[in-house]
Amino acid sequence: MSEVDGQSFKNILACWTAGITVVTVASRGDWQAITVNSFASVSMRPPLICLNIANRLDTRAYIEREGHFCISILSDQQLELGKRFAGYFDHALANRFDGLTCQSSALGDPIIPAAMAWMSCTVERDINVGENTMFIGKVNEGGWSDDKLPLLYHNRQWGGFSAWENK
């Protein structure tokens, strides 16, 4: 056994397969969003989720200020959108929402179009954890589709179930 440094920690976590979400928030006429895979359910009653966002990001500050956010769970057909909101987008775009027609949650946060599921949440608690803030959110409304498969992240690769079928 050896001590776990930053790189070995990344290598260990690369063994965990996670779904890809885009977390959005509306604040003062502006929309912010970030791709997040550190997302999990916390409780069924009440319906609570948690997610972690780096303290240095504007999206984190918007969520803290507004007290709400929306999570869109991406389908395997939305690889481009996942990467766009992760920062791998065409820099010719004025912003990451260019070309998207988003509906809004009751709280005004954008819902990523054609996502396989979405949840509108209010912040129940935020906890400073290392370089991140963990937000515990109460799910107030949401929707889903039964005819889609998830976009996944595993071993630093993005894809769907079929991406790993023959490996």
Whether pTM > 0.85 for this model: the answer is yes
What's the CATH fold of domain 17-162? Pnp Oxidase; Chain A (2.30.110)
Numbers of helices and strands, H then E, in the chain: 3, 12
pLDDT tens per residue across span 87-135: 886 666 668 898 899 999 999 999 999 999 999 999 999 999 999 999 9
Average pLDDT in the chain: 91
The average pLDDT across 6-34 equals 91
**pLDDT-derived band at 65, boundaries 50, 70, 90:** very high
Q: Is residue 85's pLDDT more than 90?
A: yes
83, amino acid identity: K
pLDDT at 95: 81
The full set of domain ranges for the chain reads 17-162
